[in-house]
A and B are shown apart, each in its own frame.
Chain A
């Protein structure tokens, strides 16, 4: 099954390349669309949902524009495979946990995913590694054009694309950039940054979107307004703010380094040491420690590990990925031990007999 292969790869958003990729993990744009001839999802019965899934799939498959997409009926997946897709950000938690007919179409590179029967009938999403919003918009715009040739979108001349929630109406567009901001967190400046972002209508969320906690110092910045502004100006708005957040983070890193911040050096070294030597470890703690290690690499404090390797560990130590890679492990205690041994194997470095810590 494709899921086993998937678990071994990193996927697009953890590729760890692209502009500003030491701080920007990924750029993402999603468009919310609904079919004109069905009620919105909350008012759909089982029959409507099944019809939507089948007709969208048939029409897109027949069009020939979606030949390199794999259609997956999410309702038919077991918990583990659904969780795997959530961890890879290919489907939302909402789609995973919903009831009834629902599906996702994913392109080969895992850059584009089309969710069917989420909060809206269709959620079209594109992800790019690093800061690359313009390219992301061009791609998803083209996908949207292709879908629109096949389906009747619910559209109102004054209000634009109609969505189940009035907070998405108009463009139906959410532009988000995922940032890794550990130095701003250490410097105690993160709330200040968020407050000023909120004043200019930008929202800050955790790693897995709405309602999720900020894990491992990862934050998503996205637009709040969807009506009254063009798609290009929304891309522009988010895209113009991100560089200043990046420069704050860089400044905070510089200051921490220049001050010879021993707390920082200590945190990085401890994190690395724990990941290498722990006997059992939860995914939350792993995420938290990997975040510190990732920053340590970017600051030149850790020389024997590369960012892509850390990104791979980020995804592969999450519960569903670990279960896929190791097989079994349904309970979390076993998983925590397996995670520790997995980290141990990937992070253990040969000793060269010059480690000052060892002689103490």
Chain B
């Protein structure tokens, strides 16, 4: 008997139970390895996020709207919506504000809620604006250095120092 995946001789005969269906497989020594040890898959949570998002997007947007949405970039960390939905990870805390409309259906789908009811940091009320500013300034400084605009870079460095001073706990 030939292997079902290539033309070599099938030496492994497997009966697999998937769901309540019996599946008979005839594989050669090489293909059976692949079958028994599937390649590493991305973590489940990444799949959850990208699956839910892509389903959602197909339901609600036209192709043009989608393309436009994909180009939307967070002004603080610079991540685009496209990068987020590919990787399943956000770029900075501000993304939760900047992409709030896009994230809301996702959060509802995953958690069945969009409202935190648990623990809160004891030090508060919390205004993280200066911290968010720091993320943006550091990114701008790095860009200035990359462009060899050292005057701007040193200006940004001074601003970072002064914001850092204010934002210590």
Contacts and interface: CB of A to CB of B under 8 A. Distances in A.
Interface of A: 34-43, 45, 47-48, 94, 119, 141, 144-145, 148-162, 164-171, 173, 203, 210-211, 224-231
Interface footprint category on B? 35 or more
A171 B90 contact: no
Nearest to A41: B89
Interface stretch (B2-10, B27-35, B43-51, B56-64): B43-51
Interface string B74-88: 001111000000011
Contacts of A211: 40-41, 43-44
Given A43-B79, A149-B123, A159-B116, A226 B111 contact: yes
B135 interface: yes
Nearest to B130: A37
A159 B114 contact: yes
B44 A227 contact: no
A165 B90 contact: yes
A43 B92 contact: yes
B77 A39 contact: yes
A40 B41 contact: no
A150 B169 contact: yes
B123 A165 contact: no
A40 B115 contact: no
Nearest to A234: B118
A41 B93 CA distance: 11
Interface of B: 40-41, 43-46, 48-49, 76-79, 87-93, 96-97, 103, 106-107, 110-123, 126, 128, 130-132, 134-135, 138-139, 142, 164, 167, 169
A227 B113 contact: yes
Contacts of A152: 128, 131, 167, 169
B33 to A, nearest CB: 14
9 contacts: A39-B91, A149-B122, A155-B121, A159-B96, A165-B89, A166-B107, A169-B111, A170-B118, A171-B118
A44 to B, nearest CB: 10
B72 to A, nearest CB: 16
Contacts of A166: 49, 90, 103, 106-107, 110
Contacts of A119: 89
Contacts of A160: 116, 118-120
A144 B49 CA distance: 27
Nearest to B92: A39
Contacts of A168: 45
A156 B122 contact: no
A225 B45 contact: no
A197 to B, nearest CB: 15
A157 B117 CA distance: 10
B145 to A, nearest CB: 11
Most buried by A among B76, B88, B92, B118: B118
Contacts of A161: 116
Interface centre among A48, A150, A166, A167 (most CB of B within 10 A): A166
A149 B122 CA distance: 8
A144 B139 CA distance: 29
Contacts of A169: 96, 107, 111, 116
Given A149-B123, A151-B169, A227 B49 contact: no
Given A36-B128, A148-B121, A156-B96, A228 B134 contact: no
A210 B96 contact: no
A40 B110 contact: no
Contact of A45 (B49, B132, B142): B142
Given A148-B123, A158-B116, 10 more contacts: A37-B131, A38-B92, A40-B89, A43-B92, A149-B169, A152-B169, A166-B110, A169-B96, A225-B112, A228-B116
B167 A145 contact: no
Contacts of A153: 121
Nearest to B97: A156
Given A156-B96, A166-B107, A42 B89 contact: yes
Given A43-B92, A170-B111, A210-B44, A228 B117 contact: yes
A39 B120 CA distance: 21
B150 to A, nearest CB: 17
A230 B96 CA distance: 20
Contact of B119 (A141, A156, A167, A224): A141
Contacts of B111: 169-170, 225-228
A245 to B, nearest CB: 20
A34 B116 contact: no
A210 B119 contact: no
B110 A156 contact: no
Contacts of B117: 228-230
